[in-house]
Amino acid sequence: MHLARFPRLRLAHLPTPLEPLPRLSEALGIDLWIKRDDCTGLAGGGNKTRKLEFLLGDAFEQDADTLVTQGAVQSNHVRQTAAAAAATGLKCQVILEERTGSKATDYVHNGNVLMDRLFGATIRSVPGGSDMPAELEKTADEVRARGGRPYVIPGGGSNAIGALGYVDCAREIVVQADELDLAIDRIVTATGSAGTHAGLVAGLAVLGADIPVLGIGVRAPKEKQEANVLKLARETAMLLGHADRVKDAMVVADCDYVGAGYGLIDQAVVDALVLAARTDGIVLDPVYTGKAMKGLIALAKAGRFEGERVVFLHTGGAQGLFGYQGELDAMFG
């Protein structure tokens, strides 16, 4: 696939470990492993770091001096982008969408937001439902008007360049599975802005590795999510010169576990956080990995992973827990 042809800045601790989850496997009656992308290093880690390696490579090639991006208030992507900017001497302007409507002090000031400010990002907040691509353009125009050189990163870092980070992760998983002599039957990941899911699908397809990926949705309904992922997987494979390798059937999302909406938690999410923490000491997050694990648990109990070895991709996000302290405390039991 020749990833080395794309400009890249090294920001992540790679490869991340691929480890068994013995106690959670026993609790669920399946053979469950975990790919630790919560351990990518930058600002506490998470999946956006892999995307940012390629996005910043491109930003420097274009001689940008300011990163411009957007996300929900407790966006892990914004935190990691702010850190990447700080670590490479770029300025960073972010737009936070009040997507969940929460006005809780923790939600608005703690967790990821505290770290955005620590890394020196300039923050502008907009109401939920705002036209975020338009807001990005507005901020980029302001940067230009001041004589700056903006590099606009879409929400979640999810374009074909960002998704190359998950092409590389797919390659890493295939190499590790080979080294461990481990046959992987399925990869399960949270799927949101689609770059992670699309990059994995494109990477596995281009490598010819026959491992299905199940995305568990955190926001959009199934049809929309699958369409978004498929489009981006094709664009990513095209960047690699193999658009034809991605087939429609390779993109599967299960969006039955979103609950009341993006960033809104329910008891099943909290139960998933508690189970992962108290079996194998794994810290999941309330918005993405907790919801994905809620889905994985339900599907395992329904016998959907019978006889399979499943790898759960831990995409990070634990910093977001501190934005939900008030809600979570009462639900831990």
Ligand X SMILES: *Cc1c(COP(=O)(O)O)cnc(C)c1O
Residues that bind ligand X (CB under 6 A): 46-47, 76-77, 156, 158, 190-197, 285, 288-289, 315-317
Q: Which of 75, 102, 158, 193 is catalytic?
A: 75
Separation of CA 253 from chain center: 15
Provide the minimum distance between the beta carbon of 196 and ligand X in the complex, in angstroms, as a whole number. Answer: 3
- The CA distance from 169 to 175, in Å, is 10
Provide the minimum distance between the beta carbon of 80 and ligand X in the complex, in angstroms, as a whole number. Answer: 8
Kindly tell me which of 57 and 192 has the beta carbon lying closer to ligand X: 192
Would the CA dihedral through 97, 101, 106, 108 be positive or negative? positive
To the query of whether residue 193 is one of the catalytic residues in this protein, the response is no
Beta bridge pairs of residue 126: 97
Provide the minimum distance between the beta carbon of 146 and ligand X in the complex, in angstroms, as a whole number. Answer: 29
Instruction: Name the residue whose CB lies closest to ligand X.
Output: 317
Dig out the tokens for 323 from the structure. Answer: 């934005």
Contacts of 6 (CB under 8 A, 6+ apart): 54, 57, 58, 161, 164, 239
111 within 8 A of 319, measured Cβ to Cβ: yes
- Within a 10 A sphere around the Cβ of 330, how many other Cβ atoms? 8
Separation of CA 222 from chain center: 18
> CA–CA distance from 161 to each of 139, 164, 205, 217 (Å)?
21, 5, 17, 22
Kindly tell me which of 143 and 220 has the beta carbon lying closer to ligand X: 220
Which residues are part of the catalytic machinery? Answer: 75
